[in-house]
Chain A
Amino acid sequence: GAVVSQHPSRVICKSGTSVKIECRSLDFQATTMFWYRQFPKQSLMLMATSNEGSKATYEQGVEKDKFLINHASLTLSTLTVTSAHPEDSSFYICSAPDGEGRPQHFGDGTRLSIL
């Protein structure tokens, strides 16, 4: 089946640090990837849609200068949390559909903790 790999799985860093999270589709090409944020005991909140070779589309209320998304190839999208602060601590998850109209496959998430 389609596999999405996310790295790193866990990050602990100091306030003010920028953190990059990678999302890779291992056995399929993904022109579109999605980035979510999830708080404890809550559902996934879509942050942005990442499009290969073009700018990401951000959901309302998500700061595009804070959460930088780059989708430079058909198998890799990155999310950079710039100048992270404790309120950015959360579980970040990426996903990608393995084709048009196909279901999204999720990475295992990145637990980000900002001290």
Chain B
Amino acid sequence: QKEVEQDPGPLSVPEGAIVSLNCTYSNSAFQYFMWYRQYSRKGPELLMYTYSSGNKEDGRFTAQVDKSSKYISLFIRDSQPSDSATYLCAMSSGGYNKLIFGAGTRLAVHP
């Protein structure tokens, strides 16, 4: 079993839809949770960064962390074609420890 599970998709939605992306994990030591967006042939771009459980909102993006269920989510409201990319969840136990990534979910938002 992988430490972090993420459905690779692809996920195809119409413009304006609400997108829900999820990851589950098994290591209870994880304290820091991140979502990255990666366009083709580019490095990952940090979207959301959350410490411990709770919600965080930034514009059209909302990140949720439920440590009791070992489950994290990213919601994208009013999705746009420019949101079409691969979304990677990542987590770590803190310090300068390495990130553990999910497989990435490929999202396509069509006009």
With A and B bound together, what is the CA distance between A74 and B90 in angstroms?
Answer: 24
A24 CB → nearest B CB, Å: 13
A103–B101 touching, CB < 8 Å: no
B88–A101 touching, CB < 8 Å: no
- Which residues of the other chain, B, contact A34 by a CB distance below 8 angstroms? 98-99
Q: Which of A64-72, A76-84, A106-114 makes up part of the contact surface?
A: A106-114
With A and B bound together, what is the CA distance between A102 and B47 in angstroms?
Answer: 13
Kindly report which residue of chain A lies nearest to residue B49, judged by CB atoms: A103
**B75 within 8 Å of A by Cβ?**
no
- Which residues of the other chain, B, contact A31 by a CB distance below 8 angstroms? 96
With A and B bound together, what is the CA distance between A103 and B98 in angstroms?
Answer: 10
Interface digits, B28-56 against A, CB 8 Å rule (1 contact, 0 not)? 00011010100001111110010100000
B46–A103 touching, CB < 8 Å: yes
With A and B bound together, what is the CA distance between A93 and B39 in angstroms?
Answer: 13
**B85 within 8 Å of A by Cβ?**
no
- Which residues of the other chain, A, contact B102 by a CB distance below 8 angstroms? 43
Chief secondary structure at chain A's binding surface: strand
- Which residues of the other chain, A, contact B31 by a CB distance below 8 angstroms? 101
Known A43-B88, A100-B95; contact A106-B41, beta-carbon cutoff 8 A: no
B96–A106 touching, CB < 8 Å: no
Q: Which of A12-36 contact B (CB under 8 A)?
A: 31-32, 34
Range for the number of chain B residues in contact with chain A = 20 to 34
- Which residues of the other chain, A, contact B101 by a CB distance below 8 angstroms? 43-44
B88–A44 touching, CB < 8 Å: yes
- Which residues of the other chain, B, contact A95 by a CB distance below 8 angstroms? 43-44, 99
Kindly report which residue of chain B lies nearest to residue A97, judged by CB atoms: B96
With A and B bound together, what is the CA distance between A93 and B98 in angstroms?
Answer: 14
With A and B bound together, what is the CA distance between A46 and B97 in angstroms?
Answer: 12
- Which residues of the other chain, A, contact B32 by a CB distance below 8 angstroms? 101, 103
With A and B bound together, what is the CA distance between A37 and B103 in angstroms?
Answer: 14
With A and B bound together, what is the CA distance between A56 and B11 in angstroms?
Answer: 38
- Which residues of the other chain, B, contact A7 by a CB distance below 8 angstroms? none
